[in-house]
Amino acid sequence: MQIFLRFVALVVVANAALLVNAYVQEYWAGLLFPRVDPRSYTEMVSAAVVGALAAATVSALSLAWLFKRWAWLAGLAISLPVIAIRAPELAAGPSSSIQQATVAMAWVEMVSYAAAVAGAAWLLSRRRRGAENAL
């Protein structure tokens, strides 16, 4: 039963992180940058990084508490929806400058999201274990 509840919690945390990532990216780009077409790399990369950091903020504490030592692996698991959304853009391959930008941003978003979420969960789990060992 405990494994099932952890799985359900993992799905809830993954959904929350994904929603926060999308929300923060949209508002970051909308509030700080003018709406132009094509969008600048600065806008796209900064929105991807800020969204990933927001998702890590929302999910890291829950993952560290639920999965303790394996929190980083749970962080990679909740990164799978973003990877599944952005990976098909890599399959087409860059043939024009717009497609090159799409491929580059797919990589930036996948790597930043996975690194931020898994890294934050790993850091908090280490800190939590260190605090428990000190007692």
* 119 vs 121: CA distance, rounded Å: 5
In the chain, the amino acid numbered 39 is: R
Q: CB under 8 Å to 60, separation ≥6 — which residues?
A: 71, 75, 117, 120, 121, 123, 124
What per-residue confidence (pLDDT) applies to 100?
A: 82
* Rounded mean pLDDT, 64-70: 91
What per-residue confidence (pLDDT) applies to 42?
A: 87
Of the two residues 127 and 108, the one the predictor is more confident about is 108
In the chain, the amino acid numbered 15 is: N
* Rounded mean pLDDT, 99-123: 93
The residue whose two tokens read 């789990």 is 125
Whether 83 has a pLDDT exceeding 90, the answer reads yes
Whether 132 has a pLDDT exceeding 70, the answer reads no
